[in-house]
Amino acid sequence: MSHHPEKHEDKHEHEGHHELGFIRKYVFSVDHKVIGIQYSITGLLFLFFGFSLMMIMRWQLAYPGEAVPIIGKWFENSTMMSGGIVSADLYNAFGAMHGTIMVFLGVVPLAVGGFGNYLVPLQVGAPDMAFPKLNAASYWSYFVGGVVMLYSFFLPGGPAQSGWTSYPPLSDIAGTGQTVWLIGMVFLITSSLLGSINIIVTIVQLRAKGLSFFRMPFLVWAQFVTSFLLVLAFPPLEAAAVFQLMDRIAGTSFFLPSGLVVSGMPLQVAGGGNPVLWQHLFWFLAHPEVYVLILPALGIVTEVIVNNTRKPLYGYKTMVYSVVFLGAMSFIVWAHHMFMTGMGTTMSNFFQTTTMIISIPSVILLSCLIITLWGGSIRYTLPMHFALAFLPMFAIGGLTGLPLGLATSDIYLHDTYYVIGHFHYVVAPGTLFALFAGIYYWYPKATGRMMNNVLGKLHFWISFLSINGIFMPMFIQGFAGVSRRLHTPTIYAHAEAVQSTNVFMSISAWVLGAAQLFFIINFFLSLKFGKKATDNPWDATTLEWATPTPPPHGNFTEEPVVHRGPYEYSVPGKAMDFIPQQVS
C-alpha cells in the first residue's frame, strides 16, 4: 500500500545494515507507520463494506418487498435473497454485521489502530512503539478477526443475526453465524488489548526529552485515555463472549433461564441462567466503547482546528481534565442502555444521574473547541472543513443523548429510530468526519503528496449534506415511535405515516455512497499526481512535522528535544506565526 514515490530515498536510510525484503517491509512490518497505514487501509475497506450492507438494507426500508436492483439479480436464487428481495433473515444479518463491522472492524481500527499507531510515536518523539513486534501481532490479530467475520457471510445460515449487541437468549439459540461472530470478537478483543497496552507504554515511557505530560498534543491525551478504556473495558466482553460460546457449544445455561419454550418445544437445557447478565457485561464494555470511538476523533479535530485557527487551544488543561474525567465516568453509566429491563428506582436514579454528569465534560470539550475559534485567523483548508463540520454534528449527537439518558423520557424513545439517529450523529457525521479530517491532514506526511482540493471539497459538501439527509429524519421517525431493526416498518400505522422520510433517507444514503468515490479517486490519484508536500506543509507545531516527509524507519533524524507546549501559534513579537515544539 505504501507505494510512495520516495521509496528509493527511503532505502538509503537502511544502507549499512541488511536490506528488508518487500514482504518484511510492507506486509509483516514492525514499523509503526507501516502498521498504522495497514490498519487505516483495512479499516477504510471495512467501513466501505459495512456501509454497503446498509445501502442494501436501505432499499428494503425505502421500497419494502421490492426486488433490489442489480444486486438482487445476482442473488435471486439464494435462500436469503430469493427473488432479489431482502428477506427478514438477511435484513437482520446485515444489520448485525453492519454494526459489528462499523464499530469493531472500521472505526476502532482506523481511529486507534491507524491514527494511534501512526501518530502517537511521532507526536511523542519516539522512534517507534514500545513493542514493535507486539504491534504487528495486534494488527494481524485484527486481520484474522476480520477474515473470520467475513467468512461468516459464506455460512449456509448466513452471519450473526442477533444485532451487534447479541442479546441472549436470541443469540444463544441462533445459527452457526453467531458462534463465528463470537470467535471473531475474541480475535478483535485480543487485538485491541495488545494495541492499547502498546500505546500506553509508548506514551508513558518513550516521550522525548522535555515533553512533559502537559506538553503533549491533545491527540496523544485522547489516545492515552482511549487506550485505558480499551484495556479495562474489553475484558468483561471477553468474559461474556466466553460464556456465550459455552452456552452455544458446551450447552451451558449462563444466559438461559429455566422453562424456555422455543417454537412450541421446551428447550433442553439445565436453565437457571440470567439473560440480563449478558447485557450488563456487554454494556460495561460498550459504553466505554462509545468513548473509544469519539475520543480519538476529538483529538484529531483538536489538532486540525488549532493548526487552522493559528492560535493556542482554548482551555488545554481543562480539556485534558475533562477527557480524563470522561474516561473514568464512562465505566459507571452502562446501565442507561437497560432502563427497560425492569430496573428499580435506585438503579435507574443512579444511572440517569451518572449519565447527566458525564454530559458535562462533553459540553466542556465542545465549548473549548468552539471558543478556540474566537480571535483566530481561520484557514479554510480541506481538513479544516471536516473538523469544523464535526463540531455541530457531535453537538447534535451529544445533545440527543440527554432525553435518552433520562429514564422517564427513555420509556418512549428507547429502541426507536431516535436512538439510531443519536449514536449515528456521534459516530458517523461525528467521528467519521473527524477521521476524514485526519486523513486529509496527515496524508501529506505519510505519502509526501497533498490531496486534491477540488475533489476533497466535492467529497466534503456532498457527504455533509447527504449524511444529514440520512440521520436527521431519524429523529422524526423516533418521535413517531418507529422501532429500530424493523424489516418492514410500514405494517405499523405510525410508521407508515413517516414512510416518505425513509425514501428520502435511502436516497441520501446512496448519494453518500457515491460521494465516497471522490475520496477514493483523490486518495489514489494524489499518490502519483498530488502536489509535493514539504516536511511541514501546514506550518504546524507538533513533533510529527519535525520528521522528514515521509518519515523514515526510526522517524527522527536526530533525537528530538522539546522546549515548549504543543500549540504556540501567533506568539506576539515573533516573525513566524508558529513555533514548533522542538525549537528552543
Partner 1 sequence: MDTPSIYGWYLPPNYSAHGAIIDQLIVIMHVFMVALFVGWGLFFVYCLIRFRQRAGHKATHDLPHSKLPKFLEIAVVLFEAAVLVGLSYPAWSKLKTSFPNKADATNIRIVAQQFVWNVQYPGPDGVFGRTDPKSVSDSNPIGLDLNDPASKDDITTLNQLHFPVNKPVIAELSSKDVIHSFFIPVLRVKQDAIPGMKIPIWWEANHTGQFEIGCAQLCGNGHTTMKGYVSIDSPEDYKTWFDEQQKELNPPPAEPAAAPASQPTN
Partner 2 sequence: MSDAVIHYIEEPHPVTGVTNSKLGVWLFIASEVMLFGALFSSYIVLRVGDATWPHGWTVLNIPLATLNTMILITSSVTMVMSWASLAMNRFDRFRLYMLVTILLGCAFMVVKGFEYAHKFEADHFPRTSNFYGVYFTMTGLHGLHVLGGILANLYFLTVGSKLWKTHPKMFMGRIEVAGLYWHFVDLVWIFLFPSIYLL
Contacts (CB under 8 A) with partner 1, residues 421-460:
none
Q: Which stretch binds partner 2 (CB under 8 A): 91-99, 217-225, 264-272, 360-368?
A: 264-272
Angle at 133 between CA 130 and CA 135, to 5 degrees: 70
CB of 483 to partner 1, least distance (A): 5
Q: Which stretch binds partner 2 (CB under 8 A): 91-99, 102-110, 129-137, 509-517?
A: 129-137
Residue in 500, 291, 301, 488 with CA at minimum distance from that of residue 398: 291
The x, y and z cell numbers of residue 131, run together, are 513493542
CB of 251 to partner 2, least distance (A): 3
- Cβ-based nearer residue to partner 1, 230 or 320: 320
- Cβ-based nearer residue to partner 1, 105 or 396: 396
Site for partner 1 in 153-212 (CB under 8 A): 161-163, 167-170, 173
Cα 225 from Cα 288, distance rounded (Å): 11
Q: Which stretch binds partner 1 (CB under 8 A): 108-116, 370-378, 529-537, 554-562?
A: 370-378
Q: At what angle do helices 345-372 and 275-309 cross, to 10 degrees?
A: 10
* 265-266 vs 261-262, strand pairing mode: antiparallel
Q: Where does residue 8 rank: exposed (0-12), middle (13-18), buried (19+ CB within 10 A)?
A: exposed
- 209 pairs with which residues across the strands? 561
Q: Which stretch binds partner 2 (CB under 8 A): 128-136, 168-176, 424-432, 464-472?
A: 128-136
CB of 424 to partner 1, least distance (A): 17
Site for partner 2 in 540-559 (CB under 8 A): 552-559
Q: Are 112 and 230 a contacting pair, CB within 8 Å?
A: yes
Q: Which does 457 bind (CB under 5 to 8 A by kind): partner 1, partner 2, none?
A: none
The CA-atom distances, in angstroms, between 60 and each of 53, 88, 101, 500, 512 are 11, 10, 20, 13, 17
- Cβ-based nearer residue to partner 2, 32 or 336: 32
The yes or no reply on residue 491 touching partner 1 (CB under 8 A) is yes
Q: Which stretch binds partner 2 (CB under 8 A): 125-133, 162-170, 461-469, 532-540?
A: 125-133
- Cβ-based nearer residue to partner 2, 375 or 554: 554
The CA-atom distances, in angstroms, between 295 and each of 72, 218, 220, 224, 431 are 39, 10, 10, 10, 9
Element (H, E) at 262: strand 261-262
The yes or no reply on residue 291 touching partner 2 (CB under 8 A) is no
CB of 454 to partner 2, least distance (A): 38
- Cβ-based nearer residue to partner 1, 140 or 492: 492
The x, y and z cell numbers of residue 187, run together, are 480475535
Q: Which of 103, 160, 260, 281 binds partner 1 (CB under 8 A)?
A: 260
The CA-atom distances, in angstroms, between 114 and each of 106, 446, 556 are 10, 12, 20
The x, y and z cell numbers of residue 304, run together, are 486540525
Rg of the chain, C-alpha, whole Å:
24
The yes or no reply on residue 250 touching partner 2 (CB under 8 A) is yes
Q: Which does 259 bind (CB under 5 to 8 A by kind): partner 1, partner 2, none?
A: partner 1
Which residue is associated with the grid cell 475497506? 45
CB of 512 to partner 2, least distance (A): 37
Site string for partner 1, 300-329 (x = CB under 8 A): ---------xxxx-x---------------
Site for partner 2 in 210-249 (CB under 8 A): 231-236, 238-240, 242-243, 246
Residue in 541, 548, 555, 553 with CA at minimum distance from that of residue 125: 555
Cα 482 from Cα 413, distance rounded (Å): 9
Amino acid at residue number 108: V
Cα 507 from Cα 55, distance rounded (Å): 9
Q: Which stretch binds partner 1 (CB under 8 A): 187-195, 226-234, 384-392, 548-556?
A: 384-392
Q: Which does 233 bind (CB under 5 to 8 A by kind): partner 1, partner 2, none?
A: partner 2
Site for partner 2 in 137-196 (CB under 8 A): 193
Q: Which does 486 bind (CB under 5 to 8 A by kind): partner 2, partner 1, none?
A: partner 1
DSSP conformation class of 31 = -
Q: Which of 126, 180, 219, 220 binds partner 2 (CB under 8 A)?
A: 126
Total residues at interface with partner 1 (CB under 8 A): 103
The yes or no reply on residue 21 touching partner 2 (CB under 8 A) is no
Q: Which does 572 bind (CB under 5 to 8 A by kind): partner 1, partner 2, none?
A: partner 1
Cα 394 from Cα 382, distance rounded (Å): 19
The yes or no reply on residue 84 touching partner 2 (CB under 8 A) is no
Sign of the CA dihedral 38, 44, 47, 48? negative
The x, y and z cell numbers of residue 27, run together, are 506486509
Q: Are 352 and 407 a contacting pair, CB within 8 Å?
A: yes
- 561 pairs with which residues across the strands? 209
Site for partner 2 in 420-479 (CB under 8 A): none
Site string for partner 1, 262-301 (x = CB under 8 A): xxx-xx-----xxxx-------------------------
Q: Are 304 and 339 a contacting pair, CB within 8 Å?
A: no
Please tell me the total number of residues recorded for the chain in this structure: 584
The yes or no reply on residue 472 touching partner 1 (CB under 8 A) is no
Element (H, E) at 155: none
Instruction: Return the half-sphere exposure (C-beta side, CA atoms, 13 A cut-off) of residue 540.
Output: 24
The yes or no reply on residue 375 touching partner 1 (CB under 8 A) is yes
Residues that bind partner 2 (CB under 8 A): 13-14, 16-17, 31, 126-128, 130-132, 134, 193, 197-198, 200-201, 204-206, 231-236, 238-240, 242-243, 246, 250-254, 269-270, 272-274, 277, 280-281, 284, 552-559
